[in-house]
Amino acid sequence: MKNKALKRLIYGLLILLPSLPLFSFATGAPGNKDTVINNGYKIKTIIVDPGHGGRPSGTSGNYSHGASGSFSSERNVTLAIAFKLQKAIEKELAGVNVVLTRTTDDDVAWQKRADIANANKGDLFISLHCNSLPGRRVREVVGHKHGKAVYRTSEVADRSGKGVLLLVYGFHRTKEEEKAIKENLIEDDTEMNTNPDPNDPESIILMNEYKRKYRKQSIHLAELLNTEFTETDGRHSDGIREQGILVLCHSAMPAVLVETGYINNPDDEAYLNSEDGQNEIVASIVRAISNYKAGVEQVSQ
């Protein structure tokens, strides 16, 4: 094989990956652990992505301002939670640095958010959002004409959504994920800058193993988050779902999008804007990350 750097990476990866636990959407009871051996891997950088934002001053174009409630907006809630989460992670998890993709009200394009994550060599990507349900169309009788009912169709707000939702990227965007992984992993290696042959068996093995690892770790983190939100905080959860979200599949690392609550539900909106609610969300995320970190930094045998 001509590409020695790629070969080294494959061998190293194939040694590491069998020792990583396999996860599924169904969370089972942990197995017995006889001995624990440190594998040398450490989580050093976590990317926290406050969803949406306002249009930057002096610019034009379409910007997604996110969802809104009766008195608050998604862009402000997610930024407030992100600042609290950054402070809590760096306080509770020694040696871990947190990079925010947005620190002002100005919006940041989805691709740029992923670029920030990859440029900072993130080990985890957590995107914070607020959920909202679209309005429902209602048809009602408003009168009669010539003996026949006259109907009017109107849209009414649907405020029935409640609780959290965890999203991981779907398989249908796997090619975009491969591109991000290549750019993030090989850019510093001159032997690999020529782009490995996509038909080369060893290149295919390497890429498939990275995709497999990131996907399983993303699902595992989502499961840990879901457990904290539901069992510790007692909140309702819509579960874990796959979705083709650009910012997740373009970030070459385990990634989860957290819908922290339904901002157009009055109870959830009050919770999301309260100090107690935000602190509870942050504490749950930090506990989940801590459990995730403990697992991936050790190999159980």
pLDDT tens-place string over residues 245-287: 888 888 889 999 999 999 999 999 999 999 999 999 999 999 9
| Tokens, residue 148 | 């026949």
| Residues 81/181/115/170 CA torsion (nearest 10 deg) | -50
- Percentage of the chain surpassing pLDDT 70? 66
Report H helices in the chain: 4-16, 74-92, 110-119, 174-186, 201-227, 246-249, 266-273, 275-296
The one-character DSSP state at 105 is S
pLDDT in tens, 46-70: 999 999 888 665 555 555 568 999 9
- Confidence (pLDDT) at 238: 97
Interatomic CA distance for residues 204 and 200, integer angstroms = 6
- Confidence (pLDDT) at 175: 57
Q: Does residue 103 fall inside a structural domain?
A: yes
The one-character DSSP state at 86 is H
Burial class (CB in 10 A: 0-12, 13-18, 19+), 97: middle
Q: Report whether pLDDT(137) > 80.
A: no
CB 126 within 8 A of CB 120: no
CB 68 within 8 A of CB 159: no
Residue-wise DSSP of 38-73: E-S----EEEEEE---BPPTT--S------B-SS-B
Q: Does residue 13 fall inside a structural domain?
A: no
- The mean of the pLDDT values for the chain is 79
pLDDT in tens, 188-242: 444 344 455 555 666 555 656 667 788 899 999 999 999 999 999 999 999 999 9
CB 46 within 8 A of CB 123: yes
pLDDT in tens, 168-183: 987 655 555 555 566 6
Q: Does residue 203 fall inside a structural domain?
A: yes
- Confidence (pLDDT) at 53: 84
Q: Report whether pLDDT(20) > 90.
A: no
Q: Does residue 286 fall inside a structural domain?
A: yes
Q: Does residue 59 fall inside a structural domain?
A: no
Torsions phi, psi for 41 (to 5 deg)? -80, 135
DSSP-based three-state secondary structure for 189:
coil
- The model's pTM is 0.77
Domain residues for the domain of 252 are: 40-54+64-132+161-300
Interatomic CA distance for residues 215 and 195, integer angstroms = 23
DSSP-based three-state secondary structure for 163:
coil
Buried b (16+ CB within 10 A) or exposed e, 231-242: eeeebebbebeb
Output 147 or 56, whichever has higher pLDDT: 147
- Confidence (pLDDT) at 247: 86
DSSP-based three-state secondary structure for 167:
strand
- Confidence (pLDDT) at 32: 46
Q: Does residue 272 fall inside a structural domain?
A: yes
Q: Does residue 138 fall inside a structural domain?
A: no
| Tokens, residue 198 | 């996509």
What is the 3-class SS of 108-156, one letter each residue?
Answer: CCHHHHHHHHHHCCCCEEEEEEEECCCCEEEEEEEEEECCEEEEEEEEE
Count CA atoms within 13 Å of residue 86 on its CB side: 18
Q: Does residue 32 fall inside a structural domain?
A: no
What CATH number should be reported for the domain holding residue 216?
3.40.630.40
Total domains, the chain: 1
| Tokens, residue 26 | 């169904």
Q: Report whether pLDDT(140) > 50.
A: yes
- Percentage of the chain surpassing pLDDT 90? 51
